[in-house]
Amino acid sequence: MSRSNRLTEKKTGAPGYIVTFSDMITLLLTFFVMLLSMAETQVEKHKFEVGINSFRRAIADMGLSGLLINRSMSSTFNHPKVYYRVDAGQDEPEDRSIDAQTEMLRRVLMDIEQMMTISPSQITAAQKTAFSTQIRFAAGRWELDSAGRNELKKWVEQFKVHFSDQQPALYVLALAQDAPPSQQWPVSARRGQAVADFIRAQFPDDVNWPIYCWGAGPGGDWTGHSGPANPETQILITVLIDSK
């Protein structure tokens, strides 16, 4: 038998559609792997940039971000901070009270105790002379009328004559028995101030006699049995001569 007559069998290959599908799957897998690699690289780059920016902000304020120059980049909270007034040093731990009513009473008593502190009188004089005047005010008022001004002018002229070579101090005490009880103290104080201002205006500029005034309300002991004024008195002027 001749070799030329032999038949050579051809190998059977895969169908064309299978090869095409395999190539497509391979390409898709390669594409997905490439996408994952790119995404991971971008995430790492973003994290690196965020870390660098955070480090720069921190060292810009010496580790206290937002304290000095980057306040707008610091953390902010929606809840406002509440501040309370505290009297530092006034309330010792053993004196503190939890009840509000008790605390209020305690403070009121402390204020009263401070106001009741008695100190010796600073008024000292070798000679003291009190003059009860006939000055009258309208009920509940403190304005001087013409009669009151004329009487004060007479008193000032007498003071100039009798105490010209001395340095007296004038004390004006005003009373307000005619005013309503709730207004007696402020009305008497205004009357004393009005009289003191008028007397001060009658002296020339080179006379610097000290002139003081205060209101005594309804009078109290000033109009008592041993007081220097009678119940009808509204202005009492006292002249004190220094003991020096």
Query: Which two structure tokens, joined as six digits, stand for 218?
Result: 């309804």
pTM: 0.48
* Residues 224-238 pLDDT 10s: 777 777 778 889 888
The Cα–Cα gap between 45 and 24 comes to: 32
The Cα–Cα gap between 127 and 166 comes to: 12
Helix ranges restricted to H, 61-99? none
Strand, coil or helix: what is 32?
helix
The Cα–Cα gap between 102 and 118 comes to: 26
More confident position, 67 or 99: 99
CATH architecture of the domain covering 127-241? 2-Layer Sandwich (3.30)
* Residues 25-84 pLDDT 10s: 888 888 888 888 777 776 677 777 877 777 777 666 665 555 555 555 555 556 566 666
**Which pLDDT does position 194 carry in this prediction?**
92
More confident position, 73 or 115: 115
Local confidence band at 193 (pLDDT 50, 70, 90 cut-offs) = very high
Amino acid symbol at 148: G
Q: Phi/psi class of residue 36: alpha, beta or left (left: φ > 0; alpha: ψ in -120 to 50)?
A: alpha
Sequence-separated (6 or more) residues with CB below 8 Å from residue 67: 61, 74
Contact, 66 vs 73, CB < 8 A?
yes
Report the share of the chain in percent with pLDDT over 70: 68
Using N-to-C axis directions, what is the helix angle for 146-162 and 184-202, rounded to 10°? 60
**Which pLDDT does position 54 carry in this prediction?**
76
Local confidence band at 1 (pLDDT 50, 70, 90 cut-offs) = very low
* Residues 143-169 pLDDT 10s: 989 998 999 999 988 888 888 778 888
Name the residue ranges covered by the structural domains of the chain. 15-73, 127-241
Contact, 144 vs 194, CB < 8 A?
yes
Provide the 10 A C-beta neighbour count for residue 167.
12
Q: For all residues of the chain together, what is the average pLDDT?
A: 76
